[in-house]
Amino acid sequence: MMNPKPMTRTIKSRWLGWGMLWALCATLAATLAAAQTTPAFTRTEDVVYGRKFGTALTLDVFQPQKPNGAAILLMISGGWFSSHDSINIGTCQPFLDRGYTVFAVVHGSQPRFVVQEITQDIHRAVRFVRHNAAKYGVNPRQFGIAGASAGGHLSLTMGTQGGPGDPQAKDPIDRESSAVQAVACFFPPTDFLNYGQPGEDAVGVGILKNFKPAFGPKSDTAEGRQALGRAISPIYFVTSNLPPTLIIHGDADKLVPIQQAESFIQKAQAAGVPAKLITRPGKEHGWPEIGADFQILAGWFDEHLRGLKK
């Protein structure tokens, strides 16, 4: 893994490129929508959910005035780079308006941490929220997860691989489950070994060559990429236990081919899981109207979270 170095503006821009377009679109659309209403929520910033090599891992908690008892974990991630500055209140608003308590999760970023390490941050975040469910007034059996691009990948990873903690763990948080009960996301990578077409390797090469630091030294060889690609691709972990899953994807996306969403949803449906793909014709990796699509994500959670037994 590369040693952490001060990022030049050019390098940082490249790392952020994956999530930049959708984030800008979401910011413009959602912020305009939020500006038309009076925020009816409280925000608690920089809640520490874990520590990593002396660095605090944090999340922001948005609590609506009239909570419905369910939680949404919102992945703040683009190109597996995460920053507190990227938390957008407007993006949270559609969930808050329906009574969801939102936990905006910031994770350790590449190149300091690779995808497999970042995934562990998300397991920890889910476990932290579940351990503190009573404190935040949420039902530990009503957790949804959402994100876009790399954030979508992390969302699907929790959907496919979230599960019981270690009952023998010294830290009681690590004894909690990291399972979620519903997933809704935008344009996620799902299969790095068949990226856009069968056999297309994108484990830090090809289309994703600019994101090689996120994959780490295991991506240096073809053999390593095959093993890593399988380990970090949500599609290989789809079972009938996958929670209801929604994906919204543009069919002109050049960074994450829509085939990634299509193949995942097909496998989920074949496993008998409630799964749906909404295609945005002509749209690339983000679009100006994406703010309105966050309402669709919120509607998915209404359908698949709020009816669960408390």
Q: Considering only CA atoms, which of 178, 183, 55, 191 is closest in space to residue 119?
A: 178
In a domain? residue 310: no
pLDDT (0 to 100) of residue 29: 47
CA distance 255 to 152: 13
Decide if 195 is inside a domain.
Answer: yes
By residue count, the chain amounts to: 310
129-147 residue pLDDT tens:
999 999 999 999 999 999 9
Q: Tell me, yes or no, whether 3 lies in a domain.
A: no
> Using alpha carbons only, how large is the chain's radius of gyration in Å?
18
In the chain, DSSP assigns E strands to 41-52, 55-64, 71-76, 101-106, 143-148, 182-186, 245-250, 275-280
pLDDT at 40: 87
pLDDT at 57: 98
Question: Which residue segment(s) compose the domain that 123 sits in?
Answer: 9-304
- How many Å apart are CA 251 and CA 267, to the nearest integer? 19
Counting the structural domains of the chain, the total is 1
What is the CA angle 114-209-212, rounded to 5?
A: 20
In a domain, 293, yes or no: yes
Tokens of 216: 């780490």
224 in a structural domain: yes
Identify the CATH number of the domain in which residue 156 sits: 3.40.50.1820
In a domain, 1, yes or no: no
pTM, two decimals, is 0.89
With a cut of 80, say whether residue 276 has pLDDT above it: yes
Specify if 151 maps to a domain.
Answer: yes
